[in-house]
Structure 1
Amino acid sequence: MRAIWTGAIGFGLVNIPVKLYSAVQGSELDLDMLDKKDHSNIRFQRVNEKTGKEVAWSNIVRGYNLDGQYVVLTEEDFQKVRPEKNKIINIAEFVDESEIDTIYYENPYYLAPEKSGQKAYNLLRDALEETGKVGLGTYVLRNKESIGLIKPHEDILVLNKIRFGEEIRDASELDVKTTKSNPQELKMAIALINQLSGKFDISHFKDTYSEDLLKLIKDKAKGKKIEKPTLRVVHSRSKDLMEQLKASLGQKEKGGGGRRRKAS
């Protein structure tokens, strides 16, 4: 892996030198954009809107439109704003992870210690495991400030990038009417949830869409005729809800409806 950031974790008066690595990779197929006429690759260019000419990366700068005038920023300008945040993830507080709503989570990263910080790194990891707490602090990556949640994962520390409160849109913009659930329907819904409950195991979930899409691509390359499957979506009325719940619960006895797990 290639480190995307080098800095330190601030833990009280202790600084732990670390490197940051992306912890995820895409599972979707890498599809190129092509010209429909001759299947040539589509190239995207950085074009000056006044001259229409392409601009080299070396000639591109960033700026902010302030009252109709652009203020151009250099790399040095970014470093001048709270320089410590560009190099230190300073843990400001420790909380129970269960208190943090998943809507705030964004991207996970691996944190690996530099040789000089190995002992302090392991100490922080062990302390978090013992207390069941996670560390919260702010840092700057790619000129954007974020909140970092530091937690142990197996033998390493993981940094989960989480959003600020002001980044979450107000759900009151949605027109959702609240109604009181029918007690019998609620009882059936709870029974269905309990029937499908079990311990979390990520291996139960696979990106089968990409596998199926790749199979279609290979079949198409061989000249096979691809039949479009018929998908019938039934939108039931609310008065049929009890029957849907009963049928869903009955799938276990019939062996239908996919994988079933007993509650532990």
Structure 2
Amino acid sequence: MKSIWNGIIAFGLVSIPIKLYSAIETSSLDLDMLDSRDLSKIKFQRINDKTKKEVPYEKIVKGYFYKENYIVLDEHDFEEASPEKSKTIDIQNFVKMSEVNPMLFETSYYAEPEKQGAKAYMLLLNALKKTKMAGLAQFVLRQKEHLCLVYEQNNTIVISRIRFAQEIRSVSEINRPAEKAISKKELDVALALIKQYTSEFNINSYKDTYSDELLKIIKAKAKGKRPTIKKLKVKKAQSDNLYEQLLESLNKKGA
């Protein structure tokens, strides 16, 4: 694996030099966009809006439209915006992982210590493991400041990027149903159904089968065969009554 970021984790006055590696990889197939007429690859070009000519990559700059004009930013400007945090994951406080809203999580990285930081790394790792806490920190990755959690997973320090609060939309934008009267017997059966379906969380039990099925179709088409498409079977309850639907679900699971 190739590291994507080098820097330090600042834990009080303790500095831990680390490398970050992406902990996530996609399971989807790499599909190309083609012209349906001759199956040639489609290329995307960076076109100047005025001249209609392609712009070389080295001539592209970033700018912000401000008061009818573009203000061009360079690498120095991005570094100046957050000079102290550019190479530091600065733990500002510790929180309980159970109190973190799952909607905040974006992606995760494995932190690997440099040789000179091995002991400090193990100290933080064991402290996080024992307390089941996570360090809340900020750092800069690819010219953008991120909020993150530093926690222990599988005897490794993991850095998970999380969203800022203002990035989560308010539920007030959603048309939620009005309160409905739920009877005690309906709630009791719903609770019993949840209990019956309750198990230990084991993500390994679930596999992304879509890509595998798609690859089977690709191989079949390559041989000139017509792929078999699985039809979705919709299961319907025998009654429109909510209580009877719950009971039917409970009895079916029990059987």
Shorter-normalised TM-score: what interval? over 0.9
Q: CA separation in 2, counterparts of 1:154 and 1:192? A: 32
Please name the residue that 1:100 is paired with. 100
RMSD across aligned positions (CA):
1.8
Amino acid at match of 1:71: I
Structure 1 runs, 4 residues or longer, greater than 3 Å off: 227-239
Q: CA separation in 2, counterparts of 1:236 and 1:145? A: 50
Q: Which moved more, 1:60-69 or 1:182-191?
A: 182-191
Q: For residue 83 of structure 1, give the secondary structure of its aligned residue in structure 2.
A: coil
Q: CA separation in 2, counterparts of 1:91 and 1:238? A: 55
Q: CA separation in 1, counterparts of 2:25 and 2:65? A: 34
User: How far has the Cα of 1:95 moved from its partner?
Assistant: 1.1
Q: CA separation in 2, counterparts of 1:45 and 1:79? A: 29
Please name the residue that 2:52 is paired with. 52
Q: CA separation in 2, counterparts of 1:141 and 1:235? A: 49
Please name the residue that 2:242 is paired with. 241
User: What stretches of structure 2 of length at least 5 have no aligned partner?
Assistant: none
Please name the residue that 1:122 is paired with. 122
Amino acid at match of 1:164: F
2:109 is the counterpart of 1:79: no
Q: CA separation in 1, counterparts of 2:127 and 2:153? A: 13
Please name the residue that 1:224 is paired with. 225
Q: CA separation in 1, counterparts of 2:172 and 2:179? A: 16
Identity fraction in percent: 48
2:193 is the counterpart of 1:185: no
User: How far has the Cα of 1:226 moved from its partner?
Assistant: 2.8
Aligned length in residues: 254
Q: Is the 8 A contact 2:239 2:245 kept in 1?
A: no
Q: CA separation in 2, counterparts of 1:80 and 1:237? A: 65
Over residues 22-63 of structure 1, what are the superposed CA-to-partner deviations in whole Å (9 max), with x where a residue is unaligned? 100000111111111111111111111111111111111111
User: What stretches of structure 1 of length at least 5 have no aligned partner?
Assistant: 255-264
Q: CA separation in 2, counterparts of 1:232 and 1:127? A: 50
User: How far has the Cα of 1:247 moved from its partner?
Assistant: 2.3
Please name the residue that 2:2 is paired with. 2
Please name the residue that 1:168 is paired with. 168
Over residues 184-237 of structure 1, what are the superposed CA-to-partner deviations in whole Å (9 max), with x where a residue is unaligned? 222121111111111111111000111111111111111222344443547879
Q: For residue 139 of structure 1, give the secondary structure of its aligned residue in structure 2.
A: strand
Over residues 143-197 of structure 1, what are the superposed CA-to-partner deviations in whole Å (9 max), with x where a residue is unaligned? 2111110001122100010111011011100011132433222212111111111
Compared with structure 1, are the counterparts of its residues 95 and 237 closer, same or farther at alpha carbon in structure 2 (3 Å cutoff)? farther
Q: For residue 211 of structure 2, give the secondary structure of its aligned residue in structure 1.
A: helix
Compared with structure 1, are the counterparts of its residues 140 and 55 closer, same or farther at alpha carbon in structure 2 (3 Å cutoff)? same
Please name the residue that 2:212 is paired with. 211
Please name the residue that 1:199 is paired with. 200
Compared with structure 1, are the counterparts of its residues 52 and 231 closer, same or farther at alpha carbon in structure 2 (3 Å cutoff)? same
